């Protein structure tokens, strides 16, 4: 359900199932730009904008539980990212070095190549990577617990999340709940 992913621009691996969605804070800030359509290329026929509204039935009570779970998930992810950064720095690696080594490892594994890096740096990278793997497993468990503690199944949380991302009215309702 969760997978390690490399994040560019100063971050580290993260929990993909929720961060991709939650890092955008439910795309609240980006919602108006989603409605913009690209101009058709020469020779293409203009298309009608696709309906972005989600067809999801969510009660106010369930939306409130979702918002509480969402808030908890964000807190868990923030703490996990901070801990990942500390783990990397404890191994005397910068985030950029770690990300570069992570990419090399992924690309090299696909091509069957070894990484072009000193043995010392490779050992520090592997130590950090191992600790981050453990942290990710714990964070995954904590996220699942945070969701279930609000009386939601993970699948239902994801379903509501998708609906909120696609429905400006639901986005507004969740924003209001989170602000209160």
Q: What is the pLDDT of residues 10-58, one digit of tens each?
A: 333 433 434 443 433 443 333 333 333 334 444 444 443 344 455 789 9
Say which residues have a Cβ less than 8 Å from residue 70's Cβ, sequence separation at least 6. Answer: 22, 26, 157, 161, 174, 178
Kindly state the percentage of the chain with pLDDT values over 90: 59
Predicted local confidence at residue 106, as pLDDT: 85
Say which residues have a Cβ less than 8 Å from residue 52's Cβ, sequence separation at least 6. Answer: 34, 35, 166, 167, 168
Q: At what angle do helices 60-90 and 119-148 cross, to 10 degrees?
A: 160
| pTM higher than the cut 0.85 | no
Predicted local confidence at residue 111, as pLDDT: 60
Residue 51 has phi, psi (to 5 degrees) of -65, 125
């Amino acid at each position: 359900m969760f997978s390690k992913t490399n994040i560019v621009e100063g971050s580290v691996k993260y929990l993909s199932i929720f961060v991709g969605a939650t890092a955008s804070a439910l795309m609240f800030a980006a919602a108006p730009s989603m409605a913009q359509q690209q101009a058709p290329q020469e020779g293409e026929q203009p298309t009608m904008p696709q309906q972005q509204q989600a067809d999801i039935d969510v009660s106010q009570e369930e939306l409130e539980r979702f918002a509480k779970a969402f808030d908890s998930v964000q807190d868990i992810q923030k703490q996990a990212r901070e801990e990942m950064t500390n783990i990397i720095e404890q191994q005397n690696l910068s985030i950029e070095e770690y990300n570069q080594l992570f990419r090399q490892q992924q690309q090299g594994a696909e091509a069957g190549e070894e990484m072009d890096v000193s043995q010392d740096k490779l050992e520090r990278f592997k130590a950090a990577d191992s600790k981050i793997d453990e942290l990710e497993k714990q964070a995954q468990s904590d996220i699942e617990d945070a969701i279930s503690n609000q009386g939601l199944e993970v699948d239902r949380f994801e379903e509501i999340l998708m609906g909120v991302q696609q429905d400006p009215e639901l986005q507004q309702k969740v924003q209001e709940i989170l602000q209160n």
